[in-house]
């Protein structure tokens, strides 16, 4: 009889909601991962795995050693918690591991964990959805999950843990009850999405857009196109692919060898899924989409026209899976935006803070500035913008583009933080923004002191690359 292996419902660094499933014996585990059982009862049942997370170690788990963590930290946790078993590299001494803890040795623990994940993957048959794009893929994934979870049990990508190295952590959690594997497919190098697709072969795929994100690490916009192309090339024959009809760079993606149904989404240009009557409301966006011969209304509790595009992808995926319209509408309406993506936060003195600090590229920053303009609605609008990293040779040009766009949205104040971000303010001033309304700071602390002096009813928008940690700036200014 087949046995399945997955995590229990335990708190974890990844924020996973695990599933308890059928179990596997310690002896069988050793065979699955290609290891040698050094000690322990081979008939001991296991039902929870932990790869390199000593902080979340529990006594009912089998713990896989990770090279990325301190051996002393991991050993201390093992000795304190005493899990059922440990998977250790042969090169490490097991003398200090308690004798009550089972022990399997392998040449490479990450490779062993991959073997476990692939073994578990082969016991299951979920429908696989792959979502990629330079911007919006996390939000699109969460919107899609909010719809699909109303109908099916699913496993989905958590946070930004979306590259090849994290894939086994999702595969190991699958059980026969999971009908959907929903993967946000990210990358920082070519071949990362291709490697993911070689394992899971998505049945449904979507590219939200092709932009400047990671252009520095990849070496040019053409290579960003190539990286997103990997999803299209890696899909199953007969699948369904969604592409952005309004995104110029998405037109560079090739579908000549794609053997399946191609669907487009957009607002400005003709598309299979085309939103119209798009408008801001007090709590988000409303829009309509014609599906078949009927016009349907949708609403999402997040601001920005760019989020309407994300919602169109989620609608398309759900329709491809024959989800009823009412479930799609309710799923989108109850969607919870990912943290630090256009989150409205109450600030001190009646100010409104828009926390969009998760990461930044020029396209996303300009979309956020549009949101600032709409949310402010006559209140003082303040844009706080930091360095955009990973743009390589396009960095100066990209910051200048944002500076030019600032003039179009006309915020009352522009505050920049960081060496590269200075170019945003310099460009904005040269294009007509009042220089006295442009301030630059080298640190978050300097910016915070200045922002606290601005009008008490101001709306303040925060956007920068992850390494600048603008969420700490938001924390300084938020209401108690």
**Cα–Cα distance between 355 and 352 in angstroms, integer?**
10
Q: Is residue 434 part of a domain?
A: yes
Q: Is the pLDDT of residue 5 over 60?
A: no
The verdict on 100 and 181 lying in the same domain is no
Give the CATH number of the domain where residue 309 resides: 3.40.1190.10
The verdict on 70 and 184 lying in the same domain is no
pLDDT of res. 48: 87
Q: Is residue 234 part of a domain?
A: yes
Q: Is the pLDDT of residue 412 over 60?
A: yes
Give the CATH number of the domain where residue 377 resides: 3.90.190.20
The verdict on 180 and 321 lying in the same domain is yes
Q: Is the pLDDT of residue 22 over 90?
A: no
Residue 368 burial by Cβ neighbours in a 10 Å radius (0-12, 13-18, 19+):
buried
Q: Is the pLDDT of residue 19 over 50?
A: no
pLDDT band at residue 457 using 50, 70 and 90 as cut-offs: very high
Q: Is residue 3 part of a domain?
A: no
pLDDT band at residue 221 using 50, 70 and 90 as cut-offs: confident
- Cα 385 versus chain centre, distance: 21
- Cα 5 versus chain centre, distance: 25
DSSP letter at 268? S
- Please report which residue ranges of 127-261 form alpha helices under DSSP H: 137-148, 167-171, 192-200, 215-218, 221-233
Domain's final residue, options 274, 304, 333:
333
When divided into structural domains, the chain yields a total of 3
Q: Is residue 263 part of a domain?
A: yes
SS3 471: helix
DSSP letter at 3? -
The verdict on 440 and 350 lying in the same domain is yes
Extract the tokens encoding 83: 């899990």
Q: H helices then E strands: how many in the chain?
A: 15, 22
Q: What count of other Cβ atoms lies within 10 Å of the Cβ of residue 155? A: 26
Q: Is the pLDDT of residue 402 over 90?
A: yes
- If you average pLDDT over each of 334-343, 390-399, 431-440, which comes out highest? 431-440
Cβ proximity of 32 and 55 under 8 Å:
no
The model's pLDDT over 290-319, given as tens digits with 9 standing for 90+, comes to: 999 999 999 999 999 999 999 999 999 999
pLDDT band at residue 176 using 50, 70 and 90 as cut-offs: confident
Angle (nearest 5°) at CA 377 between 410 and 273: 90
pLDDT of res. 218: 54
Extract the tokens encoding 400: 């200048």
The verdict on 133 and 110 lying in the same domain is no
Q: Is residue 251 part of a domain?
A: yes
Q: Is the pLDDT of residue 146 over 60?
A: yes
Cβ proximity of 9 and 18 under 8 Å:
yes
The model's pLDDT over 61-117, given as tens digits with 9 standing for 90+, comes to: 999 999 999 999 999 999 999 999 999 999 998 899 999 999 999 999 999 999 999
The verdict on 318 and 433 lying in the same domain is no
- β-bridge pairing 204-207 and 239-244: parallel
pLDDT of res. 20: 37
The verdict on 318 and 399 lying in the same domain is no
The verdict on 428 and 445 lying in the same domain is yes
Q: Is residue 6 part of a domain?
A: no
pLDDT of res. 374: 95
pLDDT of res. 271: 98
pLDDT of res. 394: 87
pLDDT band at residue 23 using 50, 70 and 90 as cut-offs: confident
Note down the domain range covering 68. 24-118
Question: What average pLDDT does the structure give for the chain?
Answer: 91
Domain's final residue, options 315, 333, 351:
333
SS3 262: strand
Q: Is the pLDDT of residue 7 over 60?
A: no
Nearest alpha-carbon partner for 87 in 129, 142, 26, 9: 26
The verdict on 131 and 153 lying in the same domain is yes
The verdict on 321 and 352 lying in the same domain is no
Is the pLDDT higher at 334 or at 22? 334
- Cα 174 versus chain centre, distance: 19
b (16+ CB within 10 A) / e for 222-242: eebbbbbbbbbebbbeebbbb
The model's pLDDT over 228-275, given as tens digits with 9 standing for 90+, comes to: 999 999 999 999 999 999 999 999 999 999 999 999 999 999 999 999
The verdict on 138 and 282 lying in the same domain is yes
Angle (nearest 5°) at CA 363 between 357 and 369: 60
**Cα–Cα distance between 241 and 317 in angstroms, integer?**
9
Q: Is residue 76 part of a domain?
A: yes
Q: Is the pLDDT of residue 213 over 80?
A: no
Q: Is residue 19 part of a domain?
A: no
pLDDT of res. 3: 39
Nearest alpha-carbon partner for 323 in 197, 151, 207, 167: 151
Domain's final residue, options 282, 312, 333:
333
Q: Give the residue carrying structure tokens 């109850």.
A: 334
The verdict on 266 and 172 lying in the same domain is yes
């Amino acid at each position: 009889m087949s046995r399945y292996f997955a995590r229990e419902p335990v708190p974890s660094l990844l924020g996973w909601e695990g599933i308890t499933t059928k179990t596997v014996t310690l002896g069988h585990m050793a065979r699955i991962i290609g290891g040698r059982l050094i000690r322990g009862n081979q008939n001991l049942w296991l039902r929870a795995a932990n790869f390199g997370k000593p902080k979340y170690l529990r006594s009912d788990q089998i713990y896989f050693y990770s090279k990325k963590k301190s051996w002393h930290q991991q050993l201390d946790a093992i000795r304190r918690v005493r899990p059922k078993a440990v998977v250790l590299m042969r090169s490490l001494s097991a003398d200090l591991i308690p004798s009550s803890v089972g022990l399997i040795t392998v040449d490479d623990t990450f490779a062993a964990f991959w073997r476990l994940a692939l073994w578990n993957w082969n016991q299951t048959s979920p429908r696989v959805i792959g979502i990629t794009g330079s911007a919006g893929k996390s939000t699109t994934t969460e919107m899609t999950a909010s719809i699909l979870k109303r109908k099916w049990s699913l496993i989905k990508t958590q946070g930004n843990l979306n590259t090849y190295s994290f894939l086994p952590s999702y595969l190991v959690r699958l059980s026969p009850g999971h009908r959907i594997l929903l993967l946000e497919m990210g990358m920082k190098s070519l071949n990362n999405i291709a490697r993911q697709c070689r394992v899971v072969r998505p049945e449904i795929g979507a590219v939200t857009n092709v932009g400047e994100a990671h252009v520095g690490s990849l070496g040019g916009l053409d290579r960003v196109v190539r990286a997103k192309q990997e999803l299209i090339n890696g899909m199953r024959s007969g699948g369904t692919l969604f592409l952005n009809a309004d995104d110029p760079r998405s037109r560079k993606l090739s579908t000549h060898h794609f053997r399946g149904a191609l669907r487009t989404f957009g607002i400005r240009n003709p598309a299979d899924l085309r939103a119209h009557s798009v408008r801001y409301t007090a709590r988000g966006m409303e829009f309509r989409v014609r599906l078949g011969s009927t016009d349907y209304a949708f609403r999402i509790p997040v601001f920005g026209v760019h989020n309407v595009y994300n919602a169109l992808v989620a609608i398309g995926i759900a329709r491809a899976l024959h989800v009823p319209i009412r479930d799609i509408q309710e799923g989108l309406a109850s969607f919870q935006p990912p943290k630090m993506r256009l989150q409205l936060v109450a600030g001190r003195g009646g100010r409104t803070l828009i926390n969009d600090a998760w990461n930044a590229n020029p396209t996303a920053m300009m979309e956020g500035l549009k949101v600032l303009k709409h949310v402010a609605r006559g209140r003082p609008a303040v844009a706080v913008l930091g360095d955009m990293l990973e743009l390589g040779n396009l960095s100066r040009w990209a910051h200048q583009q944002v500076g030019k766009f600032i003039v179009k949205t006309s915020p009352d104040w522009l505050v920049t933080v960081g060496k590269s971000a200075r170019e945003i303010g310099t460009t904005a001033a040269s294009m007509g923004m009042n220089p006295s309304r442009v301030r630059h700071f080298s640190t978050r602390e300097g910016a915070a002191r200045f922002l606290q002096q601005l009008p008490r009813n101001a709306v303040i928008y925060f956007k920068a690359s992850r390494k600048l940690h603008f969420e700490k700036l938001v924390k300084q200014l938020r209401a108690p």
